[in-house]
Amino acid sequence: MNKLILYIFLVILFNCNETPARSEIAIINVNIIPMDSERILESQTLIIEHGIITKIGSSATVKIPKNAQIINGKNRYLIPGLMDMHVHIEESDLPLFLANGITTVRNLNGDKTHLKLRRKVDQGEIAGPRIYTSGPLICGKNTKWKIKAVPKSQKEVKEIVKTQKKLGYDFIKVYDGLTSDIYQALMEEAKEQNIKVVGHIPKSVGLKGVLNAGQASIEHIEKIVKDYFGIQYNLQNIMKVAKMIKSSGTFVCPTLALQENFYLNSQGKFLKKLKNPEMNYVDSEIMSWWKSITIENNGDVSKSKSTSNEDLGFYNFQLKLTKSLFDMKIPLIAGTDTPNLGMVPGFSIHEELRNMVAAGLSPYHALETATRNAAAFLGIENETGIIKEGMIADLVLLKKNPLINISNTKSQVGIIVRGKWYSKNKIQASINKIFKESLSKAD
Ligand SMILES: [Zn+2]
């Protein structure tokens, strides 16, 4: 994508509404799914003033401010903005998140460009979801990713943690290949600096080790299976693991949809996914990478993240473990790991929610993983994640009820980010324009 065109697009999207931006919005006659419990408040009017929800009540009684922008919510459903809790983003992804109802992302391998992006969104210079970001992932020697920090000693890792905190990153991301000594030093310093640690389970530390050390989240349920169960998918041990995680207070971000893609690929059934309409928005370099690991293209599957156990048993066991963690009331958070195999920014959150339901969660509980649980992880549960008076207006308006069918999260009419309304049509038209322009420029 041409960087300048993209930048102009993001600025235009931010500053251009169908009607002039007003500081007051009234969504009238809408069905609200507040996500504080499984219920629907029917025929409500919700008032937003200066980005905050100031009034919710029956449409017959709530007074609409004189100059408010009015959005008709009749027969529609209002949910809290969605949060993708595991992404790897670029600036060009931002409109795709908005187009899919995502108002917050957690970026898990960040550098200075992400800090800059976060600042531009925060200051209202460009349109995009709220960004939380870790610093460069901290890992051992043999890690393929470009952004990384490779500490050689305990002293060095402490310096890295200190610096990342000072630069303003929101979390420390731990990755594979760390020695146990370096991991423990990292955790010590993170405690000292009061910064959360998220990420993988380094082999030298193991599941028990990361739980005891107080890691705030474990990414990929696949890692728990590989570390604790190996290839013995022993159902009897599931409860043991669930109890262990429960007592630690750690959040788990399963990234199931990615595992579904690995499974489909292992069966030679992945290629047709690359014909889905959202694939038009995938960067050509990333598409080439995906194609290079597609088995049907004689791709080298060893280049994909997982190299073994990619069969139905492995995928199904991850679903079962996810459900058991949910039953044990371990907080699950929805993350996609975009742009890993087949995970298109924004669109993939709906795939992850579908997988949560496939694991056995109800649509309501699946939605929790991308709203109130995510807000709780980020420590912003008093600001967003549920709909009530006093909360920030991060909202999504849907045509259909997502509690009946989770795929209804795709039926978007529009999104409100920090109190600003963007209709789906408007975002879509802008995206079409920018992608068409960048495509024709590439010809
Ligand atoms: Zn990742």
Q: Average pLDDT for residues 383-412, to the nearest whole number? A: 98
Q: Is the pLDDT of residue 140 over 80?
A: yes
* Residue 191 CA, ligand 1 centroid: distance in Å: 23
* Residue 406 CA, ligand 1 centroid: distance in Å: 24
* Residue 108 CA, ligand 1 centroid: distance in Å: 6
* Residue 86 CA, ligand 1 centroid: distance in Å: 6
What pLDDT score was predicted for residue 266? Answer: 87
What pLDDT score was predicted for residue 59? Answer: 94
* Residue 107 CA, ligand 1 centroid: distance in Å: 8
Token pair listed for 40: 């629907």
* Residue 54 CA, ligand 1 centroid: distance in Å: 37
Q: Is the pLDDT of residue 6 over 50?
A: yes
Is pTM beyond 0.85? Reply is yes
pLDDT in tens, 189-237: 999 999 999 999 999 999 999 999 999 999 999 999 999 998 888 888 9
What pLDDT score was predicted for residue 18? Answer: 45
* Residue 87 CA, ligand 1 centroid: distance in Å: 6
4 confidence band (pLDDT: 50, 70, 90) = low
* Residue 102 CA, ligand 1 centroid: distance in Å: 18
* Residue 137 CA, ligand 1 centroid: distance in Å: 10
pLDDT in tens, 84-119: 999 999 999 999 999 999 999 999 999 999 999 999
Q: Average pLDDT for residues 43-70, to the nearest whole number? A: 96
What pLDDT score was predicted for residue 441? Answer: 44
* Residue 88 CA, ligand 1 centroid: distance in Å: 6
CA angle 47/51/56 to nearest 5° reads 25
What pLDDT score was predicted for residue 442? Answer: 40
Q: Is 84 helix (H, G, I), strand (E, B) or coil?
A: strand
Q: Is the pLDDT of residue 443 over 60?
A: no
Which of 37-46, 231-240, 411-420 bottoms out in mean pLDDT, i.e. has the lowest? 231-240
Which of 126-130, 141-145, 234-238, 363-367 bottoms out in mean pLDDT, i.e. has the lowest? 141-145
Pairwise CA distance, residues 367 & 356, whole Å: 9
* Residue 399 CA, ligand 1 centroid: distance in Å: 32
* Residue 182 CA, ligand 1 centroid: distance in Å: 21
What pLDDT score was predicted for residue 309? Answer: 47
* Residue 314 CA, ligand 1 centroid: distance in Å: 19
* Residue 433 CA, ligand 1 centroid: distance in Å: 30
Q: Give one DSSP letter per residue of 234-296, joined into a string.
A: -GGGHHHHHHHHHHHT-EEE--HHHHHHHHHHHTT--GGGGGSGGGGGS-HHHHHHHHHT-GG
Q: What value does the mean pLDDT of the chain take? A: 91
* Residue 144 CA, ligand 1 centroid: distance in Å: 13
* Residue 337 CA, ligand 1 centroid: distance in Å: 5
What pLDDT score was predicted for residue 434? Answer: 73
pLDDT: is 55 or 4 the higher one?
55
Token pair listed for 378: 């980020």
* Residue 338 CA, ligand 1 centroid: distance in Å: 7
What pLDDT score was predicted for residue 298? Answer: 72
* Residue 199 CA, ligand 1 centroid: distance in Å: 8
pLDDT in tens, 154-195: 999 999 999 999 999 999 999 999 999 999 999 999 999 999
Pairwise CA distance, residues 178 & 180, whole Å: 6
* Residue 7 CA, ligand 1 centroid: distance in Å: 25
* Residue 9 CA, ligand 1 centroid: distance in Å: 27
In terms of C-beta distances under 8 Å and separation of at least 24 residues, what long-range contacts does 402-406 make, across chains too? 402/33, 402/77, 402/79, 402/363, 402/367, 403/33, 403/38, 403/40, 403/362, 403/363, 403/364, 403/367, 404/363, 405/363, 406/350, 406/353, 406/354, 406/356, 406/357, 406/363, 406/366, 406/367
* Residue 381 CA, ligand 1 centroid: distance in Å: 24
* Residue 63 CA, ligand 1 centroid: distance in Å: 46
* Residue 384 CA, ligand 1 centroid: distance in Å: 24
* Residue 339 CA, ligand 1 centroid: distance in Å: 8
What pLDDT score was predicted for residue 106? Answer: 98
* Residue 175 CA, ligand 1 centroid: distance in Å: 10
Q: Average pLDDT for residues 283-310, to the nearest whole number? A: 73
* Residue 253 CA, ligand 1 centroid: distance in Å: 10
Assigned superfamily of 3-80+386-442: Urease, subunit C, domain 1 (2.30.40.10)
295 confidence band (pLDDT: 50, 70, 90) = confident
What percentage of the chain carries pLDDT values higher than 70? Answer: 91
Domain ranges for the chain: 3-80+386-442, 135-168+170-213
Q: Is 124 helix (H, G, I), strand (E, B) or coil?
A: coil
Give the 3-state DSSP-derived string for 330-392, with helices as H, strands as E and coil as C. Answer: CCECCCCCECCCCCCCCCHHHHHHHHHHHHCCCHHHHHHHCCHHHHHHHCCCCCCCCCCCCCE
* Residue 240 CA, ligand 1 centroid: distance in Å: 27
* Residue 109 CA, ligand 1 centroid: distance in Å: 7
* Residue 377 CA, ligand 1 centroid: distance in Å: 17
